[in-house]
Chains A and B, each alone.
Chain A
Amino acid sequence: MKKYVFLFCLMVLAAELSAQTVPVELTDTTQLTDATQMVQPTQTVRVGYYRGNQNTVAGAVDKVTEERMNKGLITSSLDALSGQAAGVQVTTGGNQEAMVSAVRVRGTTSLTGANDPLVIIDGVAADLATLSTIYPADIESFTILKDPSQTAQYGSRGAAGVIEVATKKGKQSKFHISYDGAIGFERVYKRVGMLNASQFRQAATALGLDYMDRGQDTDFGKSIERTGFVQNHHIAFGGGSETANYRASVGIMEHKTVMQTNNYRNYIAKLDVSQLAFDNRLKVDLGLLGAFQRNNYLPDQQKLLYSAQTFNPTFPAEPKADGSYEQVTEALWINNPLSLLKMKDDEDNGHFNVHLSARATLLEGLVLRAFGSYSFNMVNNAHYYPTAVWSHGEAYRSDNRSEEWFGNISLDYTLNMKSSILNVMFLTEVQSDTDKGFNATTTNFSTDAFGYDKMSAGAARPWDGTDSYYKKSNMESLLLHAQYSLLNKYTLTANARMDASSKVGRNHKWGFFPSVSAAWIISKEAWMQDLQFVNNAKLRIGYGRSGNLGGIDPYNSMLLIQPNGLVPMNGSPVTTLGIIRNANPDLKWETKRAFNLGLDLLLWDRRIALTLDYYQSKTTDMLYVYDVPVPPFTYNKLLANMGSMQNSGLELGFGITPLREKDMELTINMNWSLERNKLLSLDGNYNGQQLTAPTMKGISSLWGAGFHGNSDVVMQVVGQPIGVFYLPHCNGLKTLDDGSKYYDISDEKQICGQAVPKFMMGSNIAFRYRQWDVTMQINGAFGHKIYNGTKLTYMNMLSMPNYNVMPGAPEQNIQDQSISDYYLENGNYVNIDYLTVGWNVPLRSKYVSGLRMSVSVNNLATITAYSGLTPMINSSVVNGTLGIDDKNVRPVYRSYTFGLSVVF
């Protein structure tokens, strides 16, 4: 049934929703614009489901066009956005450890993990993983919707912010073709230093320890590294007439990271076709996107780094005669790092999307639009753990598929009156997601030769190693949007959206998410006309409610059973069924209410642009896996809506063009954001009973030898920001009779800082002299702390001789690894993300219309007082690594790239 609806959507006449067809030159980077690129009042902006110009947008909306995207080495489209918008934090997972970065818009507002913003690519709901497959040169702009007066139109999906991505489309011009590419290499410039072989021998001897000496001197930290290599190539061509146009592109991105065996490849093809018909009353758009990624991951990065750093340096880097590597059997937590590199963890990731949209002008001012989309995702994972590192070896394969149908129809009516404009839109939308897949595991291999390619080489198939799953959820929505604009000076916008999802409980299916916002162009008031230096001034105010459901699986509201184990029955095994979690039939929407006040200013001949936003939001009915008392509950976790959280912040965008001459131009763009977060409560009412969750709970803890248990560092504490350090105070070191030292730690623990920065900065400096330009991006974060667990571990002489230690450790002779605030450090940093020098080659060719060459250095320098490897660890995503540097930080590297763009 559902599918017919979608087909219907696809077929019904009408409009395009996605298209923002502002013609922009393909490689428009040649043109350095002034500060006003931050705020262009006349620029058309599509914000969610409706369009207007900057005058009518009343919310905190930040549009990052191609000019503002990052210029250095871009290995993922999200890199292009990093540091460019206030309140938007792109975490590339500590040195780009994965293609998929984590993004936070205005911080963490929920505990379920649904803090990833909604990504809309050309009107199609997608996710960060899909966005990362898009080739950056195909992206025309990012539009970031930050406050609920804008995100409410996405209803239940928009609470964590929305990133709308517009890709480039064809245009009404003659045929053109362009090439865009980059090639470069990456070099490690800093790694965790450990004792070398002779220092190691000396230290072990000094302590009188029996140690293994294989007579070599190997830097195992270095042995797992290599010179990284990056290449990106992209060809796009397109053309069109007055009524039809198309654009096609293919791209390849390859990234061999500085860690051996860790590679990412991405192949992408894209096609967009547009046609006008019936006297331009009908416009039809078709978009096709196919992307394929092949990733070789590091199966367990923390174990690999821990092993490489602490493995006995007297061991050889060469394998034994049989090809295997000798292990230190006594060092249970680590393996020979070179044997760990033999582990394989590969992923094939395919993505396909087709979307069709139509726009029909039925009557003057009345427009009908229909939009339909189908996405297919395939993720195949495979791993093989050889017998040397995994007793008896293990092979694993999985095949996961997800499908999404999505469609909407809207009716848009615009009434142009004498001095005002009224716009009303009604929209109905459906979405259906299906996930299914299976996996299989075999173990007990007698040879590693087959890897995961011949699973029958494994002799045993554990019962819990084979499984399959199926999940489906549906959502439907209604949206009513109205905007009234008076004298092009005052604008009032209201949205009312209703969402219904199959995931929530029977009695809470529909959620209501209204919003209202207003904008006032002060500069158009008569009394402002005297102030000549004010080119534009706009005051914005908005309030809205949005929902959040993204973090939860379907079926949580139902009491369901699954196979729970094998038991003998009449002497043979039988699979029995049992409940595997507490069900919550009252599951409902998490809602976020937010208020936003903003001011946009454009001053002095548009040389200074200023955007100021203050926001405050409160998340209630917070979805979270609460601790519940056992008994009466069977399991101690329950997904429910109880607690609340508060966020507030101040964002400042600032652009200045101090120099604007014919030959020379200097532009500085900066954004600052101040974020405050507080977990208000985790208590609430469930089923008529007052539930009180424990006020304190661990978020991240240390890992490794001697850290199994009682090693929480970052906690979630009610009444505090999410992620605070809760540690006992260390009064210093004390010396024992034998000369060894230990930490003198007080009994009581206390809150001593937060893991998430209070203050973030991004700034971009661009300078042009004739055809030459220089761009530099500087990002910074302040007001947070980092726990240096790496140092705590590597300063502990008790780990000798099975685990290597840091230089300085033998002299200090600390024989203790108790956790205290001794290794809690300030996390403040300023990082020069990249420096790019570009040259737009002046050409007078008939065929070549543009040629640009550039050289970039990424990750140029970090200014920090933090003593660990790098302060750029996970300081934003609430998970098991938040705020701690614990033997899992990759060596720090720089990228050097050469880029070339040609437009014919």
Chain B
Amino acid sequence: MRKYVVFLLVGLVVMQACSLQEDPRDQIPVEEAYTSATSLFQNTVATLYAYIGGSEEGEGLQGTCRGVYDLQTFGSDEAILPTRGGDWYDGGLWEQMYCHSWKAGHSLAGNAWLYLYKVITLCNRSLEQLAEHRYLLTDEDFWSYCAEVRALRAIYYWYLIDLFGNVPIVTSTRVSMQEVKQSSREEVFRFAVNELEGVMDYLPYEYSQKQNRYYGRVTAPVATFALAKLMLNAEVYSGQPQWERTIYYCNILEGMGYKLEPYYTSNFVIRNENSCENIWTIPMDRDLYTTLQQNMHRSYHYRHASAYGFTGENGSCATRRVLEIFGYGTEDEDPRFFFNYWADEVFDYNGDYILDRKGNPLVYHPWEVKLDLSGSPYVETAGARMKKYEIDRNAMKDGTLMDNDIVLFRFADVLLMRAEAKFRLGGASYADEFGITAQQDFNAVRDRVGMPHRIITLQNLLDERLMELCWEGWRRQDLIRFEQYESLFEGDEFSDKVDESDGHTRLFPIPGDAMAMNHNLVQNPGY
């Protein structure tokens, strides 16, 4: 009897031992994702495009809140999130953005760091998987896929050096923590440039903004645009200006057939896939994709959004500096102000006035904006609001899931970059090999919106860039390049003005959490 029992127990134990392996079904082992040329492409290359835009806070290059775009926009004099009574104080978060008084623990910088490096490490993983499963691909496809991933990674490194300066270059998933050390901003700059230049020949010369095979992807023009931007800011990143190469890459883009749309607004309509000016966009479709555009939602007055069937958070708006530059309210007001901002009375779909709580027409008061509006009679209505994109009446999720593709890169910027580079090389009349002068490039942008020509100067260039490219996330970079980043407080009153004479705020601090977890990292000066 006992013998049987012992036998039975031992038998049971042996039987049990087989069941400790896991057999997941709603998740699959990594290897199963790379079984054919198509799945390899989908799950190494295409998968990365799920991260360009985002639906979570802090994710995505543009469209969501509290990440890369907010650092570029609210860290400049282009836009402000004023404290509106009980709303938008948020523990001083936005005040710090506007006053440049952020510290290493600022959550926006932390979000941007995590997001950018997440995509970079995913790129590294994709490259490793491509190499491992190369046998599934033709040589041509292999090189072109690798090129696409490397170009995307280089673009993300460019965002990193733009925001944080000296950052670690990580190109493999097998890197240990101890090996993660910062390279100088200049080294990372060269790395990004070399990567982009190195892969250019393998990238397809195709439009990325159109709904074709390359929709939303990093194609040769996208990489070229990134190179042009890197060159434009080369002096900031590396100490060495690269104006000729800026012109070179801008010319390449022109040669690819990009041109200004006849109408400024065509680039931001619901069906802006047909624009021949946009170069890189985040594809948006309320039925197909999940990426969101939260910037208008955050800006609209509650009743304004509500009149369109959305919700508005009544937050972000233009600063007074912007109004001055656009000549808002003057006879010479730039038409782009109307294209980009809601000011004064606003109207619903039927053309009727949208009313405020008292039943009077809702009126935005652009000039009344200040850092803390509490106690002001314009606490809710101060500031011109973001218009930019055509209203998509069918948008879902509070109006943030819309069909207008988010514009990341476009050709008007190329013309202004080229004008700037030429001007800096030899003044207004400096012409490139095709005989087009700085002034001509500059004029082209103003002609499109029917504005009289202006003499090209550095200040006019900077102002033009704001008027043409407002809400597109370039202002901070431009201010730094034009050496005006610290001057934005002039004429404004702040209680705790930050001493930034040392220029330390031109870089955001390396996030405190990253510093705490990796003792190799060295903080940017001034923090």
Contact = CB atoms under 8 A, between A and B. Distances in A.
Contacts of A463: 288-290
A576 B311 contact: no
Interface in A547-595: 554-555, 557-562, 564-574, 576-579
Contact of A710 (B12, B88, B93): B93
Interface string A627-658: 11111111110000000000000000000000
Contacts of A242: none
Interface in B501-527: 512-514, 516-519
B15 A634 contact: no
Interface stretch (A61-69, A261-269, A687-695): A687-695
B396 interface: yes
A443 B401 CA distance: 13
B357 A330 contact: yes
Nearest to A570: B213
A632 B513 contact: no
A329 interface: yes
Contacts of B55: 464
Contact of B42 (A12, A332, A502, A577): A577
A686 B21 CA distance: 22
A893 to B, nearest CB: 30
B513 A711 contact: no
Interface in B349-371: 356-358
Given A432-B19, A574-B42, A815 B374 contact: yes
A810 to B, nearest CB: 15
B25 A631 contact: no
B359 to A, nearest CB: 10
Nearest to A817: B89
A630 B47 contact: no
Contact of A554 (B24, B43, B51, B83): B24
Contacts of B90: 706-711
Interface string A460-484: 1011100011111110101000000
A562 B216 contact: no
A448 to B, nearest CB: 15
A580 to B, nearest CB: 8
Nearest to A476: B16
Interface in B395-420: 396-399, 401
A1 interface: yes
A391 B310 CA distance: 7
Contacts of A211: 357
B118 interface: yes
A629 B177 contact: yes
Interface stretch (B167-175, B218-226, B467-475): B167-175
A677 B163 CA distance: 41
A573 B289 contact: yes
A740 interface: yes
B309 to A, nearest CB: 7
A509 interface: yes
Contacts of A819: 91
Contacts of B178: 689
Nearest to A796: B86
Given A428-B12, A708-B90, A329 B30 contact: no
B9 A428 contact: yes
Contact of B290 (A330, A428, A462): A462
Given A329-B302, A411-B5, A571-B212, A430 B288 contact: no
A642 to B, nearest CB: 12
A571 B215 contact: yes
Interface stretch (A150-158, A285-293, A798-806, A870-878): A798-806
Contacts of B392: none
A366 B90 CA distance: 69
A579 B310 contact: no
Contact of B27 (A212, A443, A562, A815): A562
A711 B91 contact: yes
A469 B26 contact: yes
A57 interface: no
B375 A815 contact: yes
B481 interface: no
Interface stretch (B119-127, B141-149, B486-494): B119-127
Given A391-B309, A460-B396, A567-B46, A740 B375 contact: yes
Nearest to A329: B302
Contacts of A690: 177
Interface residues of B, number: 102
B46 A574 contact: yes
A330 B311 CA distance: 10
Contact of A631 (B8, B12, B49, B175): B175
A572 B306 CA distance: 32
Size class of the contact patch on chain A: 35 or more
Given A332-B302, A578-B50, A689-B177, A409 B92 contact: no
Contact of B50 (A564, A689, A711, A738): A564
A765 interface: no
B20 to A, nearest CB: 5
Nearest to A694: B516
A234 B304 CA distance: 57
Nearest to A583: B30
Contacts of A2: 19
B24 A560 contact: yes
A502 B19 contact: yes
A819 B92 CA distance: 11
Contacts of B51: 565
B449 to A, nearest CB: 31
A776 interface: no
Contact of B20 (A328, A502, A632): A502
A631 B180 contact: yes
A392 interface: yes
Given A330-B303, A502-B19, A502-B22, A631 B120 contact: yes
Contacts of B25: 470, 472
A211 B117 CA distance: 47
A45 interface: no
Contacts of A733: none
A364 interface: no
A362 interface: yes
A426 interface: yes
A478, A565, A572 interface centre (most CB from chain B within 10 Å): A565
Given A470-B25, A561-B28, A631-B117, A705 B86 contact: yes
A271 interface: no
A12, A462, A566, A815 interface centre (most CB from chain B within 10 Å): A566
B204 to A, nearest CB: 13
Interface string B174-189: 0111111000000000
B177 A632 contact: yes
A428 B15 CA distance: 12
Nearest to B115: A630
B74 interface: no
Contacts of B516: 692-695
Contact of B125 (A557, A627, A634): A634
A411 B3 CA distance: 12
B290 A565 contact: yes
A276 interface: no
A800 B120 CA distance: 46
B23 interface: yes
B414 to A, nearest CB: 24
B332 interface: no
14 contacts: A8-B12, A330-B380, A332-B302, A462-B290, A462-B397, A470-B24, A474-B20, A568-B211, A568-B283, A571-B213, A578-B43, A629-B177, A634-B121, A710-B91
Given A391-B310, A555-B22, A565-B47, 7 more contacts: A12-B8, A332-B313, A478-B13, A568-B211, A571-B212, A796-B86, A798-B86
Interface of A: 1-2, 5, 8, 12, 208, 210-212, 328-330, 332, 362-363, 366, 368, 391-392, 409, 411, 426, 428, 430, 432, 443-444, 460, 462-464, 468-474, 476, 478, 500-503, 509, 554-555, 557-562, 564-574, 576-579, 627-636, 688-695, 705-711, 738, 740, 796, 798-800, 802-803, 815, 817-819
